[in-house]
Amino acid sequence: MFLFLSFMRDGILLAFVYSVLQVLRKLIPHARIARAAEDILFGIGCGVYLFCRLYRDNNGIVRFYVIAAAICGIILWKMTAEPLFIGLLLRILEFPVKCLRFLIKRLLFLQRSCRILIIRGWKNMGRSDSSRIFADERIRKREKIRQQAKQNSEK
């Protein structure tokens, strides 16, 4: 009886860890191949964990009721606590993740803006007209086209 309850607890633990993985997937979008890799690694990890537990607690003897206990634990978690747990964890972690995304977005914008200003300033260094540093891309393209047209007309 102790072995059955022990492996039932392990099934609940494995289902709990997978629920955390699901929450992280909802908060941080993954590519399909990344999700597949996570699932494969999780499955391998679960197999190794259950095998080690079987080896330690049952002298390596695989019995059907031990596997059934782990499956019962997983089903128990999925039917009772998982919906509440996922909803609660999503609500708790949603705000910090949104703040982090906002900060990263702003920092990347500033980094790109500073890089553009530095590059434009470097290209226009030595020119007397410093207002060209802040000219937008369309004006530079028009000037380039005009210069090419002048060169073509001179030929």
155 residues of the chain, pLDDT tens digit each: 888 899 999 999 999 999 999 998 888 888 899 999 999 999 999 999 988 988 888 877 778 888 899 999 999 999 999 989 988 998 898 888 888 888 888 877 777 767 655 555 555 555 545 455 555 666 777 888 888 888 887 76
DSSP strands (E only) in 76-117: none
Residue 31, helix vs strand vs coil: coil
For residues 3 and 57, the answer to whether their CB atoms sit within 8 Å is yes
- HSE-CB of 104 using CA atoms within 13 angstroms: 6
The owner of tokens 């330690």 is 56
Tokens coding 141: 């393209």
Which of 28, 67, 64 is CA-nearest to residue 50?
67
Residues 6+ apart with CB under 8 A from 74: 11, 12, 14, 15
**3: CB partners within 8 A, 6+ apart:** 57, 58, 66, 69
**pTM for the whole structure:** 0.63
Task: Return the structure tokens found at 105.
Answer: 């977005």
**Residue with the two structure tokens 């979008």:** 29
